[in-house]
Amino acid sequence: MNKSFRFILLAVVMLVLLLSASSTLAQKQPVTIWWPQSTSGDTAECLMNTSTSLFNEQSENYEIQWVLQPPDDEYRNLIRTAVVAGSGPDVVTTDGAAFTFELANAGLLKSLNQYIDQYSWDELIAPWALGLVEIDNEKYGIPAELESVVLYYNKTLFETMGWQAPKTIEEMIAIAESAQAAGIIPFAHAYSECVPCNEWIVGQFLNHWAGPQKVYEALTGQREWTDPDFVEAMEMLGAMPGKGWFMGSLENFFSLTFDDMHAAIGNGEAAMNIEGTWHLSTIDLWFGEAAGNENEWDWVPMPTKSGAELWDIGTGGMWSISASSAVPDGAAEFINFWYQPEQQVLWLNECGFQLSPVKVSADAFSNLDPRVAEIYSSLTAASANGDIGYTPWTFFPSKTDVYLYTEIQRLYDGQITAEEYLQGMQTQFQEEFDAGEVPPIPVTSGSN
């Protein structure tokens, strides 16, 4: 072989190797994230499309891949099984801190401490939010959304009936009695499609009647759930479905759908609805021209025993990294991208997805309906000031949370009393408390 040929051959081989290396470097590693199909279709599609294109364009080494999964009530078992087997997603999404705490306790999640330092998340995300899932000074999850539960009402119907938006629970009950006497359904509530959604109202009555300080004491083992104020709250709530206050009858409450209940309050068949801030992304579908009626909606903070304003803080899911992820750095890079203030404002304004507990500019709500802007302004202020109550899906241990929303149905249909319901809750909670399975509980400065 002559020198010229050898030189040409060597050059060709080197070129092939360089091209191969270049191709390998250009190929980004996939980072998977699972998403339960409980988020409304338009919001989920907007989130997935915008985040995928924006992140994949700016990341040099990774590309995000979303995988839709069944709704929340099936998703827990699915994600638990997957992460135990090491076959789950890189970014683990759950429905709240309690379940994330369970996974972290089982060693299934990766500590985020190194990424908190690397990306300065402690300067970006509220301290109480970063500490929701903490074990031995290691942090394992970040809230996906800052959320609460409010009292929505049909403003047009209220004006017609001469009702004032209630500040106290007793005022709310008086409106319910007046509505029923007039042939109007007091509350548009029906959870046949989502048994866990029962916790929305249970948590509200525990906090807003007994007071968040007592809930804090119960969650930290200083008070039992059988406290008389808790019993009184559950007796009050437990009687409502049997009176026909929820969609007209106990049977309707157990069998009707979300569309049924939202249509009822939108067209004026029902007066009020205790539901979360996540409903803001779709509420306009049920009022006005879009729904074929002339009604308007409005809201007030969920009433309390005293009339003092109180916001129960919730997190609409938690984001973590699987302990078995092959690309934890890529998962962390995407999480950091997701929580940047400019992205959070984009998700809110363009997709209707709630803010995470991050610091955003004062004009973050400028493009929103004033009613929606007022909710987010009030909620973020309460979060910052610590004037908070405790949503079950965020602060209750996992098994106690499941007990709370499943067994409440037996209270509603008269199989058990409020005392029996709360005694069972205390027994389950004590078991988890003794096992160290209660998430960290931030101190409240709120009162009832």
Q: Please tell me the distance from the alpha carbon of residue 84 to that of residue 77, in angstroms, as a whole number.
A: 11
Instruction: Tell me the pLDDT band of 447, cut-offs 50, 70 and 90.
Output: low
Q: Give the whole-angstrom CA distance, residue 279 versus residue 277.
A: 5
248: left (phi over 0), alpha (psi -120 to 50) or beta: left
- The phi, psi pair for 408, rounded to 5°, reads -60, -25
Handedness of CA 340, 132, 317, 146 (dihedral sign): negative
What's the average model confidence in pLDDT over 271-281? 93
Q: What is the dihedral of CA 22, 23, 28, 29, to 10 degrees?
A: -110
Question: Strands (DSSP E) along 277-408, which ranges?
Answer: 297-301, 311-315, 318-321, 388-390
Amino acid at 302: M
The phi, psi pair for 223, rounded to 5°, reads -150, 145
Decide if pLDDT at 38 tops 80.
no
Q: What is the pLDDT of residue 8?
A: 38
Looking at residues 398-422, what average pLDDT do you find? 96
**pLDDT at 301 exceeding the cut of 70:** yes
User: In this predicted structure, what is the pLDDT of residue 439?
Assistant: 83
Query: What residues pair up with 246 in beta bridges, in sequence order?
Result: 187
φ and ψ at residue 444, rounded to 5 degrees:
-100, 150
> What's the mean pLDDT in 349-365?
80
pLDDT of residue 72: 65
In the chain, the domains with their CATH numbers are 23-140+317-353 (3.40.190.10), 147-313+387-434 (3.40.190.10)
Q: Are strands 142-143 and 29-36 parallel, antiparallel or unpaired?
A: unpaired
Which two structure tokens, joined as six digits, stand for 416?
Answer: 């058990």
Return the pLDDT at 42. Answer: 79
**Mean pLDDT value of segment 140-157:** 95
Of 130-134, 398-402, 421-425, where does the model show the most confidence? 421-425
Joined tokens for residue 407: 């067994």
Cα–Cα nearest to 97, from 370, 328, 366, 437: 437
Q: What average pLDDT does the segment 255-260 reach?
A: 97
Average pLDDT, the chain: 89
Tens digits of residue pLDDT in 52-97: 999 999 999 999 999 988 876 688 889 999 999 999 999 999 887 8
Looking at per-residue confidence, does 16 or 145 come out higher?
A: 145
Which of the 8 DSSP states describes residue 303?
A: P
pTM, two decimal places: 0.80
What per-residue confidence (pLDDT) applies to 446? 65
Residues paired with residue 315 on neighbouring β-strands, in sequence order: 146
Q: How far apart are CA 427 and CA 388, in angstroms?
A: 26
